[in-house]
Amino acid sequence: MAILSVENLSKNYGAIKALKGISFSVPAGSVFGILGPNGSGKTTLLGIVMSVLKASGGGYKLFDEEPNDAHRKKIGTLLETPNFYHYLSAVQNLNITAAIKGRGEDDIDRVLEVVNLTQRKNSPFSSYSLGMKQRLAIGAALLGNPDVLVFDEPTNGLDPVGIAEIRSLIKKLSQQGKTIIMASHLLDEVEKVCTHVAILKQGDLKASGNVNEIFVHEDIVELAAENIDQLDTVLNEMQGYTKKTKDDGTIQLYYPQGQVKLDAINSFCFNKGLTLNHLHMKKKSLESKFFELTN
Ligand code: ATP
């Protein structure tokens, strides 16, 4: 089942095209990252799905059905920092949130346990670190134990310790069987916590799917010889690489990570009567892959 499927969705703010007809779907049980630089349309997308904004075109389904409020009740959201009362404790704040949402009044102790705030549940919100505040915000989204969670930039503004806490919390929720949809501008974050990703740039979908398939880890070998065309022909007979490209004076061979054997390439060419004058291995970083996708 798809938890969310987006079909040719678009959104214009006047002349600004924030979403330009994007389609993808979120499988049940995934941790789905919506990755893109600032202004790429992530918040707009989540706002439409949660019915805070109206789409300009296209549509989407929740749980394979036309979306309605009953569906949204099954989704816990953290779209912007909630307004907690500074002088009230975690318990008191969650009581208020539960009353406003009309769900989870009897779920507060469980939620505090999940977000690891039980020990500090009676301290005033103003005494919390940023990381604890964010954990409480996630706790508010967990009230009533929804199966699906939607988080917009859940680690924004946190220090490394706070970031690590939120990431392990997301993993824990995923292990409990929750589907999590999270917007992020951090490639590293999506790579570390997400199973699936949709990459947005200026309202366009650049790629979507399984993280391992989208962020293929590749090694690239760069080679050259006196006669580059002859080298190109010889390399057509060689096996093991997944892709070959050629620019001005060099040829690039792409390999799955860790499978390059430079000496084997060298002797293959030598046995074909070709002397290489350049043989160099470049690691392709995830960053360069991301920039290739978004630039
Ligand atoms: P960020 O990470 O900065 O929040 P984002 O990827 O979430 O970025 P959006 O906030 O969805 O992106 O914005 C997408 C585009 O739509 C941007 O060009 C933004 O300036 C524009 N935009 C967003 N909200 C409005 C609005 N209410 N009125 C006009 N333009 C808007």
> For every one of its 295 residues, what pLDDT tens digit does the chain have, with 9 covering 90 and above?
899 999 999 999 999 999 999 999 999 999 999 999 889 999 999 999 999 999 999 999 999 999 998 998 899 999 877 789 999 999 999 999 999 988 899 999 999 999 999 999 999 999 999 899 999 999 999 999 999 999 999 998 888 988 999 999 999 999 999 999 999 998 888 988 999 999 999 999 988 999 877 876 778 899 999 999 999 999 999 999 999 999 878 999 998 888 889 999 999 999 999 999 999 988 665 666 666 666 5
208 and 243 fall within a common domain = no
CATH number at residue 166: 3.40.50.300
Question: According to the model, what pLDDT value does residue 80 have?
Answer: 79
Q: Residue 189 CA to chain centroid, in angstroms?
A: 7
| Sign for the pseudo-dihedral over CA of 137, 39, 187, 190 | positive
201 and 90 fall within a common domain = yes
149 and 279 fall within a common domain = no
The protein residue whose alpha carbon is closest to atom 16 in ligand 1 is 18
Count of domains for the chain: 2
155 and 264 fall within a common domain = no
Question: According to the model, what pLDDT value does residue 212 have?
Answer: 79
241 and 196 fall within a common domain = no
Mutation test residue for ligand 1: of 6, 11, 13, 199, the one with most atoms within 8 Å of CB: 13
246 and 188 fall within a common domain = no
66 and 107 fall within a common domain = yes
65 and 118 fall within a common domain = yes
Query: Of the residues 152, 182, 214, which one is the last residue of a structural domain?
Result: 214
Query: Of the residues 214, 234, 265, which one is the last residue of a structural domain?
Result: 214
Please report, to the nearest 10 degrees, the dihedral formed by the alpha carbons of residues 76, 146, 120, 151 taken in order: -30
Q: Residue 294 CA to chain centroid, in angstroms?
A: 14
Query: Of the residues 169, 194, 214, which one is the last residue of a structural domain?
Result: 214
Is any ligand 1 atom within 6 A of the Cβ of residue 42? yes
CATH number at residue 280: 3.30.70.100
What separation in Å is there between the alpha carbon of 22 and the centre of ligand 1?
Answer: 16
What DSSP string runs through 44-81? Answer: HHHHHHTTSS--SEEEEEETTB---HHHHHTEEEE-S-
Is any ligand 1 atom within 6 A of the Cβ of residue 124? no
Question: According to the model, what pLDDT value does residue 230 have?
Answer: 94
For 289, phi and psi rounded to 5 degrees? -65, -45
57 and 193 fall within a common domain = yes
Is any ligand 1 atom within 6 A of the Cβ of residue 184? no
Q: How far is CA 285 from CA 55, 160, 161, in A?
A: 36, 22, 25
237 and 125 fall within a common domain = no
Is any ligand 1 atom within 6 A of the Cβ of residue 44? yes
Ligand 1, atom nearest to 36 Cα: 6
82, 97 Cβ separation under 8 angstroms: yes
Question: According to the model, what pLDDT value does residue 294 have?
Answer: 65
CA atoms within 13 A on the CB side of 250: 12
268 and 148 fall within a common domain = no
251 and 124 fall within a common domain = no
Is any ligand 1 atom within 6 A of the Cβ of residue 291? no
Residue 60's domain spans which residues?
2-214
What separation in Å is there between the alpha carbon of 127 and the centre of ligand 1?
Answer: 32
